[in-house]
Structure 1
Amino acid sequence: MTENDYRQKILERLLERNSRESGFHEIIINNHRILERNLELKSENLALTVENEKLRNGLGVGDSAAQARIQVLEKKLLDKQEELTDMHKRKGDNQQMIIDLNVKVTELQKQLELKNNSLIEQSRLIQSLKAEVQMLTTKVGKLEELNSTLKDEHTALHLLHCSLEEKLRKTQTENSHMVERLMKFKAKDAEKMNEENETFLRFGSLFSRKKNDAMKRELAEAARDSSVSSPLPINEDLFSGAYGNASNVYFGDEIPNRVHLQFDAHDGEVNAVKWSPLERIVATGGADRKVKLWDVGKGNTFELRANLIGSNQAVNSLDFDSTGTLILGTSNDFASRVWGIADHRLRHTLTGHSGKVMAAKFVGESQKIVTGSHDRTLKIWDLRSKACVETKFAGSSCNDLVTTDSSTIVSGHFDKKIRFWDTRSSDSSTNDIQLQGKVTSLDLSKDCHYLAACVRDDTIKIIDLRNNHILASLSHDSFKVGCDFARIAFNPDCSHIAAGSADGSLYIWNVNGKLVSILKDHTVSIQAVSFHPFSSILASVDRAKKCTIWTHV
């Protein structure tokens, strides 16, 4: 508001006040008139009084005319006195009215002053708001310019994206043709290797050392030639170190192909299965909050060895220690528990996570444990002190984990990453591997060289841990991962991988990427599988209470 506007506003307010208070002027004028009239009446009264006295003194008693005139004058005097009294009364009323009006005027002046102060404040506020509006108008103009620029960039990027998508489709088509050709060559290589292996097994004791060396070289060359589709390189430990002389090599050709046993393991969904490292005891964990130990080593029968209780919600994963004397289970109640195998007693309850614990493993020794949770952390526990000794902050919920040695932990996460942790360091993970889907499960080869990862995009990745390189991707058109924690497993010699599908089928691939077998017995999604550590026996569990033991004919 300008100075002229402000003065005009004050003038209007004064004129309004004058029009509102104009009655005071008339009252004051009337009051002055009354006072003047009062003075006149006093003068007249005084004159009449003097004249009355003169007449009283100058006239005789018998003068009747004078007496009458006196009475008239007295009456007139009384009337004037009454009029004077009335005027005094009206004067008092007017004075009281003036006092009241003065009080009202004072109050109105105070209100006017408050209004004027508010008007000044509002004027200042209007000025500040005008400045802010100007600033925001300028900012909006800049944002509109920026928005226009971004739109142009988005249009350009969209065109680039469309061209890249078209290029990707062409590349995928070419790749599928190349994969088909490659699979044909691989099938021929596999048939040749199988023939050589069978010949080697049948007549290995008759071959000379020179012939043995030549055969190994041929196998290695065949493996190198087939590395286009990223198979596992031949590991000579599988042929000699772990299984003795070449004549006694175990190639893992025996894969399960029939149902040996099937039974209802729990009252609800079965989430976890694990073989004991010492005997044919298979452990299962389910939604009924129990961990059960089953003896399946007596012919075609099974026996419930123990019913381990203590969990308050569903059991998610299981792990035996290396001695087979302890079993570790995780639960949706934010805790992990350790039971003794011999006495079936609950030894430890580990609490500290703020979300359900999805996976846990013994680390190197039986007194150290690592757990992974939906609260986006990994915790390392010391069973001697029954306390958490370290917390790793992953930034994403952990679905599964494995341990390669006493100091290295590998974890699979909801954010599609595989993370590597060193327990000797408090630093964050390094050399993360980014995949194309959520990681549901991890399994490690016995020599700790190869990692299998089940991914929610319905593939299984084989990773060489020595250089963090993805060697192979296993998939099938009908294979679908059933849940976010579906567990897969290597067989004992790490030549095959088993995984359950959402339709209840059990898929087995060799590590070179060839689908070897599809086993059908379950009718609902398979939650987890586990190979016996020293044989080709396989256990699988599903959502319909079932546990199935598979063997080779």
Structure 2
Amino acid sequence: MNIINLNWKSNILSQLKEQNCQQNGYQRLIETYNHILENNSNLQNQCFKLEKDVNHLRSINTDLEKKAESCEELEYIKNKLEKANEEVLTNLREKGEVSDMKLAREVLRLNHALNDLNEKFTKEEIKAQQYKTENDELHETLQSTEYHLNEVLQTNEILQEEFQALQNKIDQLQIDYNKVKPACLELEQQLETAQRINKQIEDELLVYKNQQAAMHDYENAKFLDKCQKKVEVQKQDEGNIFFDDDVVFIPSMKSSSDLYQDPCVNSNLFGDGYDQICNSYDESLNRERKSIAQGLSNGGGKLLTNLVRKFTNGMHNNSIDKLYRTSTNCSIASIPTRIKASWNCTDLEVYALQFQPSGSILATGCSDKMVHLWEISSIGQQEKYCSLQGSQGAINALDFDNEGCRILAGCSGDKAYIWSYGEQKTLKDTCTGHQGVIYTCKFISGTKLVTGSADRTIKIWDIYGRKCIQTLFAGSKCHDLVILDAAGTIISGHYDRKIRIWDPFANNCRTELQYDAAITSLSFNDEKRTLLACFKDDTLKLIDLRQNKTIYTFSNARSQLDRDSS
């Protein structure tokens, strides 16, 4: 029954549709055609917009045409769309009617195709933007690379020019070396020959020295035996050093074979305030034999102080000595009885004293930043000669040149000063370069000088060039130094308890002598074979520079040092 009802309804519906189609077929066809035309115009507008976008993308991404494969697909879809439109129009014209269902399907298909096309265009725009960003980055990288490449090329050209200049210089030096090499070989041969001859002469001289030393020791021993026999009757003293009235007897040095086998002699038994120490064995013995016979007044003194003073000023004989003296060690010292002269140099402290080579002028360095020069007469009277100004610190060290026309001063202001004190009393030059207090300074020659400082360096200066020509790195504060020979060999005493001997032809230390206390001052005798060193432990050591060994050690409980340099 239900099937019959459904068939009846469907039959009526189909008949009504056929009737409507027969009556209104052309009207629907026209409406459908107008609808298709509207859709077609909309699609064409959209296609026109899409074409504009495609052209815009093409103009922007000209460099990316190889990668833009989507443009070919877009052209293909456009052609396909045009063909579809033509087919639609052709079918409409030929058949005259198109069912609503087909048109709707066609419209849906075209809408889907349009949506797909829009999505593809969106993706292509994104890719195009990415490609544009990458292209900009690559362009910037290329510019930066070109800039660095230009810099590298310029640097390479400069290096090539420098290399060429150095190569030319090396060639020139090689030519000069080839010219000098034969002369150098000849000089080396001459040097070897001179060294052999010098070695032979030194051996012969050493033998001769040993013979003379043995002879002098024998004479001195004979005289001391006589003196000891006389004194032993009056005094019972077992010490090595003893007094006879106002005469002090010091044992003589032993022969060279036994000299360095015995321990150093300690002179703690010495008194205070001795005046002079004799230098020559023969004249000392003769003069003191007369003084013993006459008998001098009793007294006390400071032997250590006078030892330093005599070694500082140098031991000189009053008469001309034609014999070659192997040693300046004295055996007798007389006791001073009074002060010969005294005066007030300044209201402040005096740090340095130095006699002119002639002995007629005494220089005093004080904490008032001035150097005062005094004329000393033969009878000990003093008169103010002049005062040299210009220093920026207290004067710690003084030295005269050999000509006696210039004076060198080292101060606590990190500088050394050179004055002339002749007709023109002016500040000639200033040596600047140390980073600490200058403790000592010496003239090496008329053209060079040396300074030692608390900055652990020793500097050698060219006077006329007004510059430092060599710096010796000692590693410790330099308290004092002396010049050993005309070649400029420097002996320096340091805070690290070492005495250093520097090679004048190289920038290094030739010999180091280690001791138990810091060295405060140095001095040697005229022959420059014996060095006297003062130490911070209140001792004096007499050092043989030929053997680099200590001969005697002097000490006294009353002798005390309160400064690092003395």
Q: TM-score range by the shorter chain?
A: 0.3 to 0.5
Greater RCO, 1 or 2 (C-alpha within 8 Å, sep 6+): 1
TM-score by length of 1: 0.45
Which structure has the larger Rg? 2
TM-score by length of 2: 0.44
